[in-house]
Amino acid sequence: MLIDTIIWNPGDSLIDLGFFALRYYSLCFLLAFVASYIVVKKQFIKHHLPVELMDSLTIYVVLGTLIGARLGHCLFYDFAYYSKHPLEIILPFTFTPEFKITGFQGLASHGGGLGIMFSLYLYSRKFKLNLWFLLDQIALVVPLAGMFIRLGNLMNSEIIGKPTGENWGFVFLQVDKIPRHPAQLYEAFAYLLIFIFVYQIMKRYPKASGYTFGMVIFLIFCFRIGIEFIKEDQSAFEAGMLLNMGQILSIPFILCGLFIMYLKRGAPEAPEKAALIR
Tens digits of residue pLDDT in 122-153: 999 999 899 999 999 999 999 999 999 999 99
The torsion angles phi and psi of 111, rounded to 5 degrees, stand at -65, -35
- At residue 33, the pLDDT reads 87
Q: How many residues does the chain have?
A: 278
- pLDDT in the model for residue 1: 43
Whether 12 shows a pLDDT value over 50: the answer reads: yes
Torsion of CA 264, 270, 272, 275, to 10 degrees: 0
Q: Which sign does the torsion angle of CA 164, 10, 157, 182 carry?
A: negative
Task: Please tell me what DSSP assigns to residue 16.
Answer: E
Lowest mean pLDDT segment, chosen from 37-46, 178-187, 233-242, 250-259 = 233-242
Is the pTM value of this prediction over 0.95? no
Give the tens place of pLDDT for each residue, 228-258.
999 987 766 667 777 888 888 899 999 999 9
* Mean pLDDT along residues 173-200: 95
Indicate the pLDDT class of residue 96, thresholds 50, 70 and 90: low
pLDDT given for residue 269 in this prediction:
66
Least confident of 22-26, 39-43, 80-84, 202-206: 80-84
pLDDT of residue 169: 93
Does residue 252 have a cis bond before it (omega within 30 degrees)?
A: no
Task: Count other C-beta atoms under 10 Å from residue 183's C-beta.
Answer: 22
- pLDDT (tens digit, 9 = 90+) per residue, 65-84? 888 888 877 777 777 776 77
What pLDDT, on a 0 to 100 scale, did the predictor assign at position 219? 97
Amino acid at 261: M
Amino acid 245: pLDDT: 80
Question: 57-64, long-range: CB within 8 Å, 24+ apart, which pairs?
Answer: 57/123, 57/134, 58/33, 60/119, 60/120, 60/122, 60/123, 61/116, 61/119, 61/120, 61/138, 62/33, 63/119, 64/112, 64/115, 64/116, 64/117, 64/118, 64/119, 64/120
More confident residue, 207 or 100: 207
The average pLDDT across 215-229 equals 94
Q: Is 42 a residue whose pLDDT tops 80?
A: yes
Share of the chain above pLDDT 70, in %: 82
